[in-house]
Amino acid sequence: MSKSFYSSIKREIEDIRNEGLYKEERYISSPQKTNISLSDGSNVLNFCANDYLGLANNSEIKKAASEALETDGFGMASVRFICGTNDLHQQLETKLSTFLGYEDCILYVAAFDANGGLFEPLFHAEDAIISDALNHASIIDGIRLSKAMRFRYAHSDMTELEDCLKKADDQGARHKVIVSDGVFSMDGSYAKLDEIVPLAKKYDALIMIDDCHATGFVGKNGRGTAEHFGLEGEVDILTGTLGKALGGASGGFTCAKSDVIKLLKQRSRPYLFSNALPPSIVAASLKALEIIEVDTERRARIATNASYFRSQIKNLGYTVIGDDHPITPVMVGDAKIAQQMSKLLLAKGLYAIGFFFPVVPKGQARLRLQITSEHKQDELDKAVTIFEEVGKELGVI
Ligand SMILES: *Cc1c(COP(=O)(O)O)cnc(C)c1O
């Protein structure tokens, strides 16, 4: 036991607290929905789940999960290539690739793993990975594991992206890939795919998009960012999650051409060295996709709710960033104010969490509100009223 190790850990925790950056967990004692119970017995409006289509507590999905629990058991107790591949895994991979318009798909236990295990097998020292500065942590980590040349462009700065493409060519890059979140989770904004696609064509680069905050509800049919821009078929590699709109349990995937998926199944380390997704989650995700394919009303409701809420919060005088996406980031700047605001909101019955460093840059703290298709008009209005009261109390508006 090294005493100095433990005392330096303690100091680091104190530093985090002193900077107002310490995150506390809150305990929920009901299923995920727009109105949740907390462990202290209170009932609050929930404005921060990724449950975009309200499927986290859907009865058909729960039924599919419990049926699979009976027919296929609790766990696979194996990685996929040993004895962990159930016929449900194969069905979900086919369903996801068909729905999203790709040749094939590979499942992971999380999108974090899909991104973490993507770059190292596909891109080597003579290749170039060109990445948006605000990409998700799992993309950043995945790129770190690859030996490829790395280039980073300022968030959505297409001039810098083009410079990176030129530099990669100057350095003799064999293959180039442009890597971006489809929707930036802290900002509620879309990647400029309409500008990225022509640049990729001009410089003969591939495009990889992480659509965790888009799959299932962005685009007319819920196929994500490419569909939103009318650019289906232009994204070479797509990663996504089962842990947000598609039921909210867990799981991730990569869709691409079949040879790419074949190679990932040979070489991608989170796939080779980590347990298979449990059958109940796989069966439930199949059901979630079935619901999403036929139920266009959820998508219509989330769009209406999101733009209504965004405009109401803006009207109060708050700075709201991003595009017309259900992620509604309300900027407050200072982490301590974000924490304080979150506490006051909760006391009035609104659960909304402050986001600050390291999940967003220092000095850009915000409250990230997320709208779902299931928020009712009175719940949206109540949240707006609470936001007005708390904002005035704190002098933010
Ligand atoms: C949530 C998220 C992930 C991680 O997804 P998990 O399935 O929870 O691991 C990856 N990328 C982005 C952009 C995300 O928002």
Three-state SS string across 76-126, please?
CCCCHHHHHCCHHHHHHHHHHHHHHCCCEEEEECCHHHHHHCCHHHHCCCC
Query: Catalytic: 89?
Result: no
Chain segment 141-154, per-residue pLDDT in tens: 999 999 999 999 99
- 236 pLDDT more than 90: yes
Mutation test of ligand 1: which of 48, 241, 281 has the most ligand atoms closer than 8 Å to its C-beta?
241
Distance 212 CA to ligand 1 centre (A): 6
Catalytic, out of 136, 176, 228, 244: 244
Please report the pLDDT score of residue 176 as a whole number: 98
Question: How many angstroms separate the CA atoms of 89 and 281, rounded?
Answer: 10
Mean pLDDT of the chain: 97
Q: What is the pLDDT of residue 28?
A: 95
Give catalytic status of residue 185 as yes or no.
yes
Amino acid 147: pLDDT? 98
User: How much of the chain exceeds pLDDT 90, in percent?
Assistant: 95
List ligand 1's pocket residues with C-beta within 6 A: 110-112, 115, 136, 138, 181, 185, 210, 212-213, 241, 243, 252
- Predicted pLDDT at 20: 82
Order across the sheet with 319-320: list the strands.
319-320, 327-333, 365-370, 354-355
pLDDT value, residue 181? 98
The answer to whether the CB of 155 falls within 8 A of the CB of 180 is no
Indicate whether 217 pLDDT > 90. Answer: yes
The residue nearest atom 5 of ligand 1, judged by CA position, is 111
34 — pLDDT class (breaks 50, 70, 90): very high
- 37-42 mean pLDDT: 94
Label residue 155 exposed, middle or buried (CB < 10 Å: 0-12, 13-18, 19+).
middle
pLDDT of residue 24: 86
Read off the pLDDT of each residue in 51-74 and give the average, rounded to a whole number: 98
Residue where the block lists tokens 């489809």: 182
- Respond yes or no: is residue 250 known to be catalytic: no
**Contact between residue 287 and residue 91 where contact means Cβ atoms under 8 Å apart:** no
The confidence score (pLDDT) of residue 211 equals 98
- Residue range 235-252: average pLDDT? 98
The residue behind tokens 């508006």 is 397
Identify the band that residue 19 occupies on the pLDDT scale cut at 50, 70 and 90.
confident
Looking at residue 1, its pLDDT comes to 74
Separation CA 86–CA 76 (nearest Å): 8
Q: Which of 244, 254, 327 to mutate to test the pocket of ligand 1 (most atoms within 8 A of CB)?
A: 244
Q: pLDDT tens across 335-350, in order?
A: 999 999 999 999 999 9
Whether the pLDDT of residue 278 is over 80: the answer is yes
CA of 350 to the centre of ligand 1 (A): 24
Residues 32-38, mean pLDDT to the nearest whole number: 97
What atom of ligand 1 comes closest to residue 251's alpha carbon? 7
Position with higher pLDDT, 383 vs 26: 383
* Site to substitute for ligand 1 among 32, 112, 190, 239, most atoms within 8 A of C-beta: 112
Q: Are 184 and 206 in contact (CB under 8 A)?
A: no
* pLDDT for the residue 21: 86
Q: What is the pLDDT of residue 264?
A: 98
pLDDT (tens digit per residue) in 71-90: 999 999 999 999 999 999 99
Please compute the mean of the pLDDT values over residues 160-180 and round it to a whole number.
Answer: 98
Query: What's the pLDDT tens digit per position in 352-364?
Result: 999 998 889 999 9
% of the chain beyond a pLDDT of 70: 100
Report all structural domains of the chain as residue ranges with CATH numbers, in order of start. 18-47+296-394 (3.90.1150.10), 59-294 (3.40.640.10)
